[in-house]
């Protein structure tokens, strides 16, 4: 592998001149720069990461913070897996690498104190993607710093912190509207974790659409879950054991919807005959379970790609405004809701918001 010293020797110039030429410095003549670049290509020279960092004062590394709390396994949820795929493609296209920060807090080697900001400074990352915010003040501290950050489906503030999220309210409204169009009036929900932005927004969208449709709002028809299947199972059993159980259910994630179908089966309630079910996400599981799941699709890879693009712009331009982007949702009609025909779906396009 050719080193910068060898490239300098064969070019007949100093290492400093090679470095300036490859980084487009005006201190090097165009003829010299062209000669050095041509020789670098011929020798297949690639500058080391350390050298690029010294010259550009950038690491070309983006940190990823994924924190869902001790009782909520983060990487096991398909949502985060899909977003990470989108992030990988997005940052890779801009010449960056991803560094996933460990979430273990005690004994982390950073002075005994859990600090994502300290980790970011230690590794010299150029920016950070924040996901799964569980109320950890250290994530809020990172977001409030001067480091460019983009939160994915998280409600965080900071001078250089933007956000990318799905149209969670509208997605929940799509689910309720679909169930009402099928003739249901007793519509319940198992919410996502309400400490999260998606959980709170999907509940708001559910309630707003229930009110808009003139349906009776019933507190007992709202059960808090946490996006994982066991909470969907427990919540649905609770709902189906009411004196007047719902005939339709909006689960704020597909995993919870799968748990809901399992609970209904155990109680002898047919899906969709006894309970119509709509989920949220459209993970691979949605088309594999029986009955196949009607769900609100969010473009999870697009969330990652848009977050990466927005963060890259903020890194490259210190004056760039923090990205604020919503990715619309789409209703995917299958068997579990009892519909025979799919209504027209919204297009999946990202849009800038104020």
> Which contiguous run of DSSP H or E holds residue 327?
strand 324-327
Question: Which residue did the predictor score with more confidence, 324 or 339?
Answer: 324
Provide mean pLDDT across the span 223-242: 97
Q: For residue 352, is pLDDT > 70?
A: no
7 CB burial (10 A radius; 0-12, 13-18, 19+): buried
Q: For residue 200, is pLDDT > 50?
A: yes
Q: For residue 148, is pLDDT > 50?
A: yes
> Mean pLDDT of all residues in the chain?
87
111: left (phi over 0), alpha (psi -120 to 50) or beta: left
Q: Is the dihedral of CA 85, 87, 89, 92 positive or negative?
A: negative
| The pLDDT value given to residue 178 | 97
Token pair 């897996």 is found at: 81
C-alpha span between 49 and 58 (Å, rounded): 9
Helix spans in 155-299 (H): 168-181, 197-212, 229-240, 254-266
**Considering only 135-149, 251-265, 282-296, which range has the smallest mean pLDDT?**
135-149
Provide mean pLDDT across the span 119-130: 91
Q: To the nearest whole percent, how much of the chain has pLDDT over 70?
A: 86
How would residue 25 be classed by pLDDT, with cut points 50, 70 and 90?
Answer: low
Q: For residue 143, is pLDDT > 90?
A: yes
How would residue 5 be classed by pLDDT, with cut points 50, 70 and 90?
Answer: confident
Strands 324-327, 351-352: pairing is antiparallel
**Considering only 31-45, 59-73, 98-112, 211-225, which range has the smallest mean pLDDT?**
98-112
């Amino acid at each position: 592998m050719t080193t910068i010293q060898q490239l300098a020797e064969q070019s007949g110039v100093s290492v400093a001149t090679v470095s300036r030429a490859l980084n487009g410095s005006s201190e090097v003549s165009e003829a010299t720069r062209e000669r050095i670049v041509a020789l670098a290509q011929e020798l297949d020279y690639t500058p080391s990461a350390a050298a690029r960092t010294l010259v550009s004062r950038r690491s070309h590394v983006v940190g990823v913070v994924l924190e869902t709390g001790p009782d909520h396994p983060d990487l096991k949820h398909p949502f985060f897996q899909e977003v990470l795929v989108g992030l990988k493609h997005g940052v890779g296209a801009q010449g960056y690498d991803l560094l996933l920060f460990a979430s273990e807090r005690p004994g982390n080697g950073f002075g005994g104190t859990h600090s994502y900001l300290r980790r970011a400074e230690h590794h010299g990352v150029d920016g950070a993607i924040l996901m799964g915010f569980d109320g950890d003040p250290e994530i809020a501290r990172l977001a409030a710093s001067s480091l460019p950050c983009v939160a994915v489906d998280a409600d965080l503030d900071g001078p250089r912190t933007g956000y990318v999220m799905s149209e969670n309210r509208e997605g929940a409204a799509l689910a309720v509207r679909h169930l009402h169009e099928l003739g249901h009036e007793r519509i319940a929900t198992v919410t996502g974790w309400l400490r999260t932005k998606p959980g709170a927004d999907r509940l708001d969208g559910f309630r707003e659409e229930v009110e808009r449709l003139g349906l009776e709002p019933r507190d007992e028809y709202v059960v808090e879950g946490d996006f994982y299947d066991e909470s969907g199972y427990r919540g649905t059993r609770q709902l189906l054991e009411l004196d007047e159980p719902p005939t339709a259910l909006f689960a704020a994630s597909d995993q919870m919807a799968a748990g809901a179908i399992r609970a209904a089966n155990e109680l002898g309630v047919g899906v969709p005959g006894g309970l119509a079910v709509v989920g949220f996400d459209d993970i691979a599981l949605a088309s594999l379970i029986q009955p196949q799941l009607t769900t609100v699709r969010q473009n999870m890879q697009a969330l990652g790609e848009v977050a990466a693009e927005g963060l890259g712009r903020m890194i490259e331009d210190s004056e760039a405004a923090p990205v604020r982007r919503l990715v619309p949702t789409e209703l995917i009609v299958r068997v579990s809701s009892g519909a025979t025909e799919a209504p027209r779906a919204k297009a999946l396009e990202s849009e800038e918001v104020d």
